């Protein structure tokens, strides 16, 4: 029989065992760093902006010169120069003088405000009439108002998104130190499993798990390595897992994870070296006969053969293992919703239930996909799944739930 | 002055102009199809499963033979064979006979139920005692119960996820016809813009927009092509945009999108060929001086230089253009939340407001990032942005909002 762990205990075992896994880092081009995990805190060596900038097309002046002006009582300024984009003005602005300053250009010395071009009429060559009062600092972005020199810009463990790429470029970072991608070996066991391109004989099924896992691992920022389909034979599986474990940071097997005569995975994992099997059985539906093992400090995971269990266990537990290994500090985005109907659940086991989401009156409503819900086709129609705790007999219509992406 | 369009009118103009854009298709390996858009409906040529399968380890029997059995009144069965995984049994199950059938194996002819091994005691060689009654069909997944032969499995326009990869493999598809990736040229204009690795002189700023756009386009499934940074010169920009438009499906420029002397983008887009500029100015903050143009049937987009405007306009309007060009039918996942505080907005212009999300009592609460909110650093701390309509003076605490990802 399986020694079944609860969902919570399984998460604790994952954290206890894989938090200290070491992944080497590499320096990569910023443009290719989206989705990668930053290895250390990144501070800014610069103020951003690192000069006072104009937010409008206009004239830099001494703001107090404009006080009290209006259409009927404009003030006269002598235009003594202009600032080119990307350059500085060599003029100093004194009382009664103005320097043309386009949006984004540097504010010349002496000026403390910019009057918009709309409020400055050209009287004659190099003389303007300003008809609006501006306050000191108006239309200026001050040095360091976006990012102060020395401040923390991106935290260790952040999964970089495009917005971080822009942010890092703005502080002069064009290459970034990230964790190498975790390599995960995929091994599909089962005498009945064939490749999708092969002719199907009765009793055989196609390898959907290998394709799902390949795609899911890429989506999680992991590099998948296919080790193919292997027969239900202890020695063959052991040899292949040993080779995969040598080359990869983790190994995922599907099939043979239960306790029957043809279920070799747990014995193989124990044979790889200590501590071997950590969890054999999780109190969850679907996916109960899941194995989490450890050898050479690396996770070796035995998933059930049932495709729906592979999908949910991968998205919930394998994702957790990967996040823990990478010290990923980015909180995964889940969606909060309300149950659209009453749903009764089996007491005693947590349940992963696929749902479709609908937005009604600005509320996100989750409708369970009922019937024979845990098949690939239904899962592919779902927007994600909810977890019903083991001590819960069901959820009432309107109950708040968290929806995890598939 | 800009001829400003509303958010809604801009979306209509996008749909009217780019829905009929033709993107060639290509046949690619299923393993590499995650994130790609399917060009046509995919139907199943098979029933899944395509044979009756056992859901348990047990014995296939005639179910009626077990009726009325119990621990005290077991029924005796002769075991006449077993089914190997991936194969069929050559035995026919008749009354009083049983065939060993592991989980996932094919149900032999004649049997209409599977009794779990836990309820079958081995009496002697090839004789078992069954002590539990099963109903017809029990512990059997019927042929076609997941997917019926001829049924629609994946719709045209679906963006493939890992779950679809598994699903397609299960129906024997190992390569899939998808749209080629849209190629988008990126051109950064501005005399003040330098590469992040260059030494910064006063008045210059680093090219954050190019890095953000490169990452964002990859995240949207588009292939970015960098055309570098170019000075504010009409002829130079025109020549470069022409070259980019020749090679790409769309071109995105940043900077020079307003109507000042140094703003060449709209004139360049009009010079490329009809119809030229479609939208010059969107009633939205930030991002008002945005240009959407069309030449040779392709979008040419002029974004403002302000990094925050580039981020929001890209995530809202450029994403829409890409979805329309790809006939993407997948609804983008947005999050529904409630405002955590009262927020007053400028009447007359739609506002893109960055928010941080917190889950409190199972409700997702959006807190605006206020102050000088539209700077890259603040955007990078946000979980997304909400859109406050132009005719809305603000949002009260508790108001329902849709949060778009950044």
Q: How confident is the model over B4-32, as pLDDT tens digits?
A: 999 999 999 999 999 999 999 999 999 99
Given a cut of 90, whether residue A389 has pLDDT beyond it is no
- Which two three-digit tokens encode residue A302? 């035995």
Which chain B positions have a beta carbon within 8 Å of A260's beta carbon? 57, 102-103
Which chain B positions have a beta carbon within 8 Å of A164's beta carbon? 215, 380
Q: How do strand B350-360 and strand B363-368 relate by DSSP bridges?
A: antiparallel
- Which residues, at least 6 apart from B153, have a Cβ–Cβ distance to it below 8 Å? A377, A380, B42, B43, B44, B147, B167, B168, B171
* B 263-302 residues inside an 8 A Cβ radius of A: none
Burial class of residue B266, CB neighbours in 10 A (0-12, 13-18, 19+) = buried
What is the pLDDT confidence band of residue A7, given thresholds at 50, 70 and 90? Answer: very high
Percent of chain A having pLDDT more than 70?
A: 98
Q: Which residues is B303 bridged to in the sheet? A: B254
Given a cut of 90, whether residue A347 has pLDDT beyond it is no
pLDDT at A333: 66
- Which two three-digit tokens encode residue B273? 């060929």
More confident residue, B348 or A211: A211
Report residue B247 CA to chain centroid gap. 26
The overall longest dimension of chain A from CA atoms, in Å, is: 98
- Which residues, at least 6 apart from B329, have a Cβ–Cβ distance to it below 8 Å? B155, B156, B157, B158
Q: Which residues is A293 bridged to in the sheet? A: A277, A300
pLDDT at B377: 84
pLDDT at B212: 97
Q: Which residues is B365 bridged to in the sheet? A: B338, B358
Pick B86's closest partner by Cβ from A88, A104, A192. A192
The verdict on a CB contact (< 8 Å) between B170 and A196 is yes
Which chain A positions have a beta carbon within 8 Å of B363's beta carbon? 336, 400
The verdict on a CB contact (< 8 Å) between A154 and B380 is yes
Mean pLDDT value across residues B118-140: 93
What is the pLDDT confidence band of residue A154, given thresholds at 50, 70 and 90? Answer: very high
Residue written as tokens 């998205």?
A315
Pick A174's closest partner by Cβ from B102, B165, B195. B195
Pick A166's closest partner by Cβ from B169, B190, B209. B209
pLDDT at B83: 94
Tell which of A42, A211, A220 to mutate to test the B interface (max B CBs under 10 Å): A211
The verdict on a CB contact (< 8 Å) between A169 and B335 is no
Q: Is B311 on the interface with A (CB under 8 A)?
A: yes
Closest alpha carbon within chain B to A34: B215
Q: How far is A335 from chain B (nearest CA, A)?
A: 6
Q: Give the least confident one: A87-91, B94-98, B187-191, B257-261.
A: B257-261
Three-class DSSP category at B108: coil
Contact (CB, 8 A) for B165 and B34:
yes
Percent of chain A having pLDDT more than 90?
A: 74
Q: Is A3 on the interface with B (CB under 8 A)?
A: no
pLDDT at B331: 64
pLDDT at A381: 84
- What is d(CA A78, CA A130) in angstroms, rounded to the nearest whole number? 11
Percent of chain B having pLDDT more than 70?
A: 98
Residue B66 backbone phi and psi in degrees, to 5? -95, -10
Q: How far is A71 from chain B (nearest CA, A)?
A: 22
Q: Where are the beta strands (DSSP E) in A125-264?
A: 127-130, 140-141, 152-154, 175-179, 183-189, 193-194, 205-206, 223-230, 250-254
DSSP code per residue over B180-235: PPPEEEEEEE-TTEE-TTSPPPTT-EE-HHHHHHHHHHHHTT-EEEEEEEE-S-HH
pLDDT at A137: 94
The verdict on a CB contact (< 8 Å) between B212 and A359 is no
Q: How confident is the model over B307-354, as pLDDT tens digits?
A: 989 999 999 999 999 999 998 877 666 788 899 999 988 767 888 888
Given a cut of 80, whether residue B208 has pLDDT beyond it is yes
Q: Is B373 on the interface with A (CB under 8 A)?
A: no
- Which residues, at least 6 apart from A321, have a Cβ–Cβ distance to it below 8 Å? A14, A18, A250, A292, A299, A301
Q: How confident is the model over A40-64, as pLDDT tens digits?
A: 999 999 999 999 999 889 999 999 9
Which chain B positions have a beta carbon within 8 Å of A405's beta carbon? 333
- Exposure on the CB side of residue B373, measured as CA atoms within 13 A: 18
Q: How do strand B53-54 and strand B140-141 relate by DSSP bridges?
A: antiparallel
More confident residue, A197 or A336: A197
Given a cut of 70, whether residue B287 has pLDDT beyond it is yes
- Which two three-digit tokens encode residue A325? 């290994």
Q: How confident is the model over B227-271, as pLDDT tens digits?
A: 999 999 999 999 999 999 999 999 999 999 887 778 999 999 999
The verdict on a CB contact (< 8 Å) between A380 and B164 is yes
The verdict on a CB contact (< 8 Å) between B163 and A311 is yes
The verdict on a CB contact (< 8 Å) between B400 and A372 is no
Q: How confident is the model over A107-123, as pLDDT tens digits?
A: 999 999 999 999 999 99
Torsion sign (Cα): A103, A106, A108, A111 = positive
Pick A211's closest partner by Cβ from B154, B166, B191. B166
pLDDT at A325: 96
Given a cut of 60, whether residue A239 has pLDDT beyond it is yes
* B 7-26 residues inside an 8 A Cβ radius of A: none
Contact (CB, 8 A) for B358 and B340:
yes
Residue B19 backbone phi and psi in degrees, to 5? -65, -30
pLDDT at A217: 97
Q: Is A136 on the interface with B (CB under 8 A)?
A: no
pLDDT at A301: 98
Closest alpha carbon within chain A to B210: A166
**Whether residue B47 has a cis bond before it, omega within 30° of 0:** no
The verdict on a CB contact (< 8 Å) between B163 and A105 is no
The verdict on a CB contact (< 8 Å) between A167 and B380 is yes
Give the number of beta-carbon pairs within 8 Å between A and B.
Answer: 292
Mean pLDDT value across residues A259-269: 89
What is the pLDDT confidence band of residue B72, given thresholds at 50, 70 and 90? Answer: very high
pLDDT at B381: 84
Given a cut of 90, whether residue A322 has pLDDT beyond it is yes
Q: How confident is the model over B142-176, as pLDDT tens digits?
A: 999 889 999 999 999 999 999 999 999 999 999 99
Q: How far is A24 from chain B (nearest CA, A)?
A: 23
Q: Where are the beta strands (DSSP E) in B231-307?
A: 250-254, 275-280, 284-285, 291-295, 298-303
Rg of chain B, C-alpha, whole Å? 31
Q: How confident is the model over B368-399, as pLDDT tens digits?
A: 987 654 578 888 888 889 989 888 888 999 99
Which chain A positions have a beta carbon within 8 Å of B34's beta carbon? 215, 218-219
pLDDT at A312: 92
Q: Is A341 on the interface with B (CB under 8 A)?
A: no
Which chain B positions have a beta carbon within 8 Å of A201's beta carbon? 86-87
Q: Which domains does chain B have, with CATH numbers?
A: 7-24+180-326 (3.40.980.10), 25-48+145-179 (3.90.105.10), 53-141 (2.170.190.11), 335-403 (2.40.340.10)
Residue written as tokens 């927009």?
B209
Q: Which residues is A353 bridged to in the sheet? A: A386
Given a cut of 90, whether residue B216 has pLDDT beyond it is yes
- What is d(CA A209, CA A195) in angstroms, rounded to the nearest whole number? 11
Q: How far is A171 from chain B (nearest CA, A)?
A: 7
Q: Could you give the ipTM of this predicted complex?
A: 0.91
The verdict on a CB contact (< 8 Å) between A211 and B359 is no
pLDDT at A261: 76
Tell which of A89, A147, A162, A216 to mutate to test the B interface (max B CBs under 10 Å): A162
- Which residues, at least 6 apart from A199, have a Cβ–Cβ distance to it below 8 Å? none
**Whether residue A114 has a cis bond before it, omega within 30° of 0:** no
Given a cut of 90, whether residue A194 has pLDDT beyond it is yes
Contact (CB, 8 A) for A184 and A252:
yes
Q: What average pLDDT does the structure give for chain A?
A: 92
* A 33-52 residues inside an 8 A Cβ radius of B: 33-34, 46, 48-51
Among the listed residues B297, B214, B307, the one whose alpha carbon sits nearest the alpha carbon of residue B255: B307
* B 63-82 residues inside an 8 A Cβ radius of A: none
Contact (CB, 8 A) for B139 and B146:
no
Q: Is A88 on the interface with B (CB under 8 A)?
A: yes
Pick A335's closest partner by Cβ from B162, B207, B335. B335
- What is d(CA A74, CA A94) in angstroms, rounded to the nearest whole number? 18
The verdict on a CB contact (< 8 Å) between A377 and B260 is no
Pick A166's closest partner by Cβ from B204, B226, B307. B307
The verdict on a CB contact (< 8 Å) between A203 and B51 is yes
- What is d(CA A334, CA B270) in angstroms, rounded to the nearest whole number? 44
* B 146-185 residues inside an 8 A Cβ radius of A: 146-147, 153-154, 160-174
List, as own/partner pairs, every contact residues A265-271 make where C-beta atoms lie below 8 angstroms and the sequence separation is at least 24, other chains included. A265/A189, A265/A237, A265/A291, A265/A302, A266/A291, A266/A293, A266/A302, A267/A234, A268/A234, A268/A237, A268/A238, A268/A241, A269/A241, A269/A293, A269/A295, A269/A300, A269/A302, A271/A238
């Amino acid at each position: 029989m399986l020694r079944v762990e609860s969902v919570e205990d399984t998460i604790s075992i994952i954290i206890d065992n894989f938090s200290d896994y070491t992944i080497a880092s590499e320096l990569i081009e910023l443009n290719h760093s989206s989705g990668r995990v930053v290895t250390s805190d990144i501070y800014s060596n610069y103020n951003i902006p690192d000069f006072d900038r104009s937010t409008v097309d206009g004239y830099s002046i001494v703001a107090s010169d404009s006080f009290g002006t209006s259409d009927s009582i404009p003030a006269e300024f002598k235009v003594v120069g202009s600032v080119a984009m990307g350059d500085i003005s060599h003029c100093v602005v004194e009382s009664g003088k103005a320097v043309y300053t386009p949006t984004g250009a540097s504010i010349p010395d002496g000026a403390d405000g910019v009057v918009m071009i709309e409020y400055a009429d050209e009287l004659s060559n190099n003389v303007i009439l300003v008809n609006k009062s501006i306050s000191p600092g108006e239309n200026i972005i001050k040095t360091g108002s976006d990012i102060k020199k020395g401040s923390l810009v991106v935290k260790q463990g952040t999964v970089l998104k495009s917005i971080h790429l822009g942010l890092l470029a703005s502080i002069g970072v064009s290459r970034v130190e990230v964790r190498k991608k975790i390599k995960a070996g995929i091994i599909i066991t089962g005498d009945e499993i064939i490749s999708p391109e092969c002719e199907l004989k009765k009793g055989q099924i196609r390898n959907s798990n290998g394709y799902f896992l390949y795609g899911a691992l890429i989506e999680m920022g992991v590099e998948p390595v296919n080790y193919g389909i292997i027969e239900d034979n202890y020695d063959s599986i052991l040899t292949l897992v040993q080779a995969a474990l040598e080359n990869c940071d983790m190994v995922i097997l599907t099939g043979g994870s239960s306790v029957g005569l043809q279920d070799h995975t747990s014995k193989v994992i124990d044979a790889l070296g200590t501590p071997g099997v950590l969890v054999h059985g999780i109190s969850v539906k679907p996916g109960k006969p899941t194995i989490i093992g450890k050898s050479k400090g690396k996770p070796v995971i035995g998933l059930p053969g049932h495709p729906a269990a592979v999908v949910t266990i991968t998205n919930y537990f394998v994702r957790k293992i990967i996040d823990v290994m990478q010290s990923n500090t980015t909180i995964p985005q889940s969606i909060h919703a309300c149950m659209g109907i009453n749903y009764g659940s089996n007491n005693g086991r947590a349940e992963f239930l696929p749902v479709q989401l609908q937005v009604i009156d600005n509320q996100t409503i989750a409708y369970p996909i009922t019937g024979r819900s845990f098949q690939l086709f239904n899962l592919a129609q779902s927007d994600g799944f909810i977890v019903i705790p083991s001590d819960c007999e069901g959820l009432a219509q309107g109950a708040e739930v968290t929806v995890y992406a598939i």
